[in-house]
Amino acid sequence: MNGTKQRNTKIVATVGPASSSYDALLALVQAGVNVFRLNFSHGSHEQHQEVIDSIIKINDRYNLFTGILADLQGPKIRIGDLEGDGFPIQSGDLLTFVTEPCLGTREKIYISYENFATDVQPGERIILDDGKVVLQVLETNKKDKVKLSVVHGFHISSRKGVNLPETSISIPSLTEKDLEDLDYILTQPINWIALSFVRTAKEVRKLQEKIREVGHKAKVISKIEKPQAIEDIDAIIKQSDGIMIARGDLGVEVPMERLPSMQKIIIGKCLQRGTPVIVATQLMDSMITNPFPTRAEILDVANAVLDGTDAVMLSGETAMGKHPVKVIEAMTKIIIEAEKNYDLTSKRAKASRKSPTYYSDVICINAGKTADDIRAKGIAGITISGYTAFKISSYRPACKIFIFSNAYPTLCALSLVWGVIPFFYDKFTSTDETIADVTMILKESKAVKQGDYLVNTGSMPLHRRFRTNFLKITLVD
């Protein structure tokens, strides 16, 4: 229904005013959306509930496994309201930021981060309005007031975002608002939870522990948008269930010329660990208003695919854009064309002898290699947790990955993962019967035909649910 059979790279779409109705969501799924992102920086729980209910109805009605990603706001830092429409500033001007709420003037401007004066150091850069304004700390009283010099001026206006790329901030990654939102999220069938402004693996672990405390199955995506995250990237990838390269804030906080290489390096590291990765922010930004993408946007999407990303994510394009369905259709065409030239042989995952899952990893990776060698039509994997699917996908085989599970949340989560087509299956009697069943299901769904080869993998005996420990080649009759 949604084009996944023609492509491997998945599409994540952010829900907003332009896409929150049942009909709009259905149209996006039909166009090719695999996962919907709920941005908890905006909207009430009641509004998000309506969207969740609609997605569930669509999945039930059309027998789909569209995933749901809840994106926590994280510690957003902003300046307060300014007199009038704000005012122009130029290089050399002096400003004072205070942590006591006030109406901003040229004399003093409120900043929402209460530890600002404590955390910043003289010489550090402060960035406003996505890089339009650059300031430098001159002095701080270490209590409630900081004097700054304007390095690059512009028109400064109310409630603009603040980035602190050189400051070691003490604010927790989970704010009070995030915790309130998390309490709600954990009552819902959410598949992925994105943690904003991650700096260390420890922050990721804390969120995972909170999720496990209530017995929820949601997986955690770490958003990479801080320089500190780059410094701890290996540990963060190891701890996380997924990674999002959030190029908006990351592009403000690190030198812009480093973004392309960072994207490639992070994707490569995720492939090696079997960790799903999303490339996000401004992929098709011009289509918020225009019916067609720019040439640069076409190349950006294609390059993300060629880098090996699991998914590409749309934000304003589908949340508030004029052409949400056209965006998905255009992105689908770009992905399909890019995948014709897809070659990640040098980046393919390898099993590490140091890993506690080494033997299972060997089976999963060799399922991909075997499928390529015999030109199989697909790999049919059986999983409960989804681990088998993650690992097989990380090899990036040339065929489709058909994953069977009786765990509905797992199947929805796998809608984010490269090349995976999920199927519900709950008749785990014997290995031979199950292989025969899944082969028949794939044949009836026209995914395979007589004479095709399948590579089967899973655990034996099935009812014991061990780690992946078998691999078999099946000729479809």
List the catalytic residues: 37, 78, 223, 281
345-349: list long-range contacts, CB under 8 Å, 24+ apart.
347/268, 347/271, 347/272, 347/308, 347/396, 348/271, 348/394, 348/395, 348/396, 349/271, 349/272, 349/273, 349/274, 349/391, 349/394, 349/395
The set of residues, in sequence order, having a beta carbon less than 8 Å from that of 260 and lying 6+ positions away, is none
For residues 344 and 306, what is the distance between their CA atoms, to the nearest angstrom? 8
Structure tokens at 107: 């004399």
| Contact assessment for residue 424 and residue 411, using Cβ atoms and an 8 Å cutoff | yes
For residues 375 and 356, what is the distance between their CA atoms, to the nearest angstrom? 30
| Contact assessment for residue 35 and residue 2, using Cβ atoms and an 8 Å cutoff | no
Beta strands (DSSP E) in 275-399 are 277-280, 311-314, 378-382
Q: Quickly tell me which residue has 């404590």 as its tokens.
A: 118
The per-residue b/e assignment along 273-306, b for 16 or more CB within 10 angstroms, e otherwise, is bbbbbbbbbbbbbebbeeeebeeebbebbbebbb
